[in-house]
Structure 1
């Protein structure tokens, strides 16, 4: 299954020098002109020029201001392009109820609500930053995933994407998920490992991009979470929670427009845009509050990392993994 997916765990063929046109750049300023409808924002904390959510203030290390929302939407689009608009890997043809935990701007939930108009779709998040005008079958709620969910036997699919920075305990997450799913329902976590890589060793092991990853992971470790992702361990934790048919599907998300494959190249272009524009917001709280860096020290490293990421001779990617499991179906009545 994994080998047939765009960006799966196989070598991604890069463009050769002759494939490039003079106008083809991995980072185009024009691609930043995206537009979206968003609801009015309630209350925020302001630090270092960035806004952070007010609900359970300080729990989430990333901002939720307009710039961060733009980054989330860009990376959602990048994943959609690279995955061929596949919304989930779980073998569900027509789910009737779906919940997106940590929905962010709600982009994925909106896409699912549009794709399955007869389904009820719920998106939950700490921040009420989702659009006002959404499909009628979609609802957003402010909620903390660490609190009891109180949604027993309700959903066909429990989904998360880019959530693992905020998961204190995957076993607890899977316990809540198991209770929330109907028999036969699926859980799917599409999460990334904050450890950029390259198959051809074109990414310098001691360069600024790798250094940034290591420092981010160090900061998250000090907070009691982990920037690194361990999909096989997550799969085992699903099994221990009672799930069956567990599996891990690896996906390589290119950083930049270097792949020869058209979809991966376009997805990588957008992914790079999101990193270049969002890396400061991703870093500022961890670097200044946890690691003790000054803003000037941080921005110097980020400038070096941005410059490295824009080099098309570097064929780097961000490892993603879809981790899936199924709640056992109800036994068939043979009477």
Structure 2
């Protein structure tokens, strides 16, 4: 289990001078479209998918009209996704996945559910050029210049999966219960979409800020926001919590074996002594501050009935608190992995 210290670095990085390395895809020919011709010729992508809904100054994808998909899909949110990708990568010891497929010949068919901006899928396609990688998401927000072994598809993971391929790795990251409505359904669909011996891996965080030194007060604005957010998301029939034991049980129920759970701590802010975790914490904090409004809007307005101005007053207090050097919080991160039996039917 990854560890973190509650001691502050002597000279923590300054938030305003963060220099985040953004992946440059200019090395790929612009003709290397991430969307396959077969996909583009079907009804899988229709003009309605691109008709984003504008609400409170933010855009949401076309499948979100039931208001139950709480996150926007605009440039601000995409930047937040990429920042938190780097934070998660550092928290997980710079490992893309833990399923034992890294050794030759490595994975051949990889499916990334909830691919977002496609950044994980791009990195994995680069690392495994002999593998075919598919990134699937509700929103077509991925870049067009990508590795030639990567394509993107539009899909709702809460609906029946209809892939023609079979995969030896099915992956999610930061989906939680507010993007995946039913883990039992997810594992059922993953199982039928996988090759015998293939692996499913969920890398998820539990939206519950914790502090081992008591620096997060129950009466703080940050804890108030967290409690209200979890109440609001619950009122929408969703959850931001991650229960790895439940996920592991449902994996096993779906037929997966060799199920395991790994636990980590993703710091909120640059307070750990460890350099890698300090950087992970800084990135998580920057992404959290960047995405706090988008994360809160639908949850507070639809889930709690709050007005936007009332919500922003609370968010201003939260931003002030989380930037304080006195707060030593972290988010629990869990990696739940399971294997489809070698002798299972395809």
Q: Deviations over 1:301-328 (max 9, x none)?
A: 1111111111122110011111111111
Q: Which of 304, 323, 330 is matched with 2:343 structurally?
A: 330
Equivalent position SS for 1:144: coil
Q: Distance in 2 between matches of 1:208 and 1:107?
A: 33
Q: Which of 170, 180, 184 is matched with 2:197 structurally?
A: 184
Equivalent position SS for 2:302: helix
For residues 254-293 of structure 1, the aligned pairs below 5 Å read 254-293=267-306
Equivalent position SS for 2:159: coil
Equivalent position SS for 2:201: strand
Shift of 1:32: 6.5
Q: Distance in 2 between matches of 1:13 and 1:146?
A: 39
Structure 1 residue 45 and structure 2 residue 45: aligned? no
Inter-CA distance 32–135: structure 2 relative to 1 (3 Å threshold): closer
Structure 1 residue 301 and structure 2 residue 314: aligned? yes
Structure 1 residue 159 and structure 2 residue 171: aligned? yes
Matching residue of 2:73: 64
Moved more, 146-155 or 193-202: 146-155
Matching residue of 2:96: 87
Inter-CA distance 56–14: structure 2 relative to 1 (3 Å threshold): closer
Q: Distance in 2 between matches of 1:46 and 1:119?
A: 38
Moved beyond 4 Å, runs of 4+: 32-39
Inter-CA distance 88–254: structure 2 relative to 1 (3 Å threshold): same
Shift of 1:55: 3.5
Equivalent position SS for 1:132: coil
Matching residue of 2:154: 142
Equivalent position SS for 2:71: coil
* Structure 1: unaligned runs, 5 residues or longer: none
Q: Distance in 1 between matches of 2:25 and 2:101?
A: 29
Equivalent position SS for 2:50: coil
For residues 168-207 of structure 1, the aligned pairs below 5 Å read 168-207=181-220
Q: Deviations over 1:277-297 (max 9, x none)?
A: 110011011111221111111
Moved more, 160-169 or 54-63: 54-63
Is the 2:257–2:341 Cα contact (8 Å) retained in structure 1?
yes
Is the 1:123–1:141 Cα contact (8 Å) retained in structure 2?
yes
Matching residue of 2:126: 114
Is the 2:91–2:264 Cα contact (8 Å) retained in structure 1?
no
Shift of 1:100: 0.5
* Structure 2: unaligned runs, 5 residues or longer: 27-33, 35-48
Q: Distance in 2 between matches of 1:168 and 1:89?
A: 24
Q: Distance in 2 between matches of 1:34 and 1:215?
A: 33
Moved more, 228-237 or 50-59: 50-59
Aligned residues: 318
Is the 1:32–1:273 Cα contact (8 Å) retained in structure 2?
no
Inter-CA distance 205–31: structure 2 relative to 1 (3 Å threshold): farther
Shift of 1:35: 7.1
Equivalent position SS for 2:270: coil
Q: Deviations over 1:38-90 (max 9, x none)?
A: 99x93211011001112453442110000000000000011112323200111
Shift of 1:20: 1.6
Shift of 1:152: 6.8
Inter-CA distance 256–107: structure 2 relative to 1 (3 Å threshold): same
**TM-score normalised to structure 2 length:** 0.87
What is the RMSD of the two structures over their aligned residues, measured on CA atoms?
2.0
Matching residue of 2:139: 127
**TM-score normalised to structure 1 length:** 0.90
Matching residue of 1:232: 245
Equivalent position SS for 2:15: coil
Is the 1:26–1:257 Cα contact (8 Å) retained in structure 2?
no
Q: Distance in 2 between matches of 1:141 and 1:228?
A: 27
Q: Distance in 2 between matches of 1:32 and 1:49?
A: 26
